[in-house]
């Protein structure tokens, strides 16, 4: 019977120790997540000018024509 009480006391002790660690951790982590996880903002991607857009269109058209000829 004494063995049963010591096992119960050990369980209570371990459970109490776990509860205290979580409470202390919660107390130290009370800062809002927005302040803690603030990532630096990245610069926006540079926009394409008209010449670059035209080059993309011509290249896409050339690829499309080449694939169409190959399909025949």
> Any idea how long the chain is?
72
Q: How far apart are CA 10 and CA 4, in angstroms?
A: 10
Higher pLDDT, 71 or 58: 58
Q: How far apart are CA 52 and CA 35, in angstroms?
A: 40
Q: Which residue has the tokens 């035209």?
A: 54
Higher pLDDT, 47 or 11: 47
The SS3 call for residue 48 is coil
How confident is the model over 20-49, as pLDDT tens digits?
554 555 555 565 555 655 667 888 878 999
């Amino acid at each position: 019977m004494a063995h049963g009480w010591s096992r119960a006391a050990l369980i209570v002790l371990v459970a109490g120790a776990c509860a205290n660690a979580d409470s202390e951790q919660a107390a130290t982590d009370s800062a809002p997540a927005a302040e803690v996880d603030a990532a630096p903002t990245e610069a926006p991607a540079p926009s394409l000018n008209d010449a670059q857009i035209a080059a993309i269109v011509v290249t896409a058209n050339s690829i499309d024509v080449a694939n169409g000829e190959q399909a025949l």
